Structure 1
């Protein structure tokens, strides 16, 4: 089921705030670059996967996965994480 564009925009704004306030400067910078490049064009499904990364994954784990220092568990190893890795030069 698809949601309307207003609701998607609200989700994007929440992610913009959450992504810029992760707790570590390194993650804030990395996620900020990702959001600048992709947030406006992400599908509803991609937004959902990004929300899971932002809400469920601790900063230290996220940074290791995003920079390619460690492999992410299968449930988090998604197209969205790969897009972040590309911006961090991990891929």
Structure 2
């Protein structure tokens, strides 16, 4: 691989960071983007694959799972989702 080219995981992390921060609603940006900012550096291949699936979901669904107002689908319900539901990573600035 060319030294100037990012590796596959680095590229996936960059794309995920952008998609997490640019959801379309401020609330989703805070939840999804905040979650990625806090935990993305710890993602291994399995966690990255999980997050990429989450990023394909609708904001309203992700927020409902995070706030506990809807049941998380079995294929997304894992330790990472438990961390997402904590919401301790959301930082609101004025």
Do they fold alike, i.e. is TM over 0.5?
yes
1:84 corresponding residue in structure 2: 84
Q: Does the 8 Å contact 1:19/1:54 carry over to 2?
A: yes
Q: Which has the larger radius of gyration?
A: 2
User: Mind listing any 5+ residue stretches in structure 2 that lack a counterpart?
Assistant: 1-5, 90-94
2:37 corresponding residue in structure 1: 36
TM-score (norm 2): 0.80
User: Mind listing any 5+ residue stretches in structure 1 that lack a counterpart?
Assistant: none
CA RMSD of aligned residues (A): 1.7
Q: Distance in 1 between matches of 2:87 and 2:63?
A: 13
Q: Which runs of 4+ in 1 moved over 3 A?
A: none
Count of equivalent residues: 84
TM-score (norm 1): 0.82
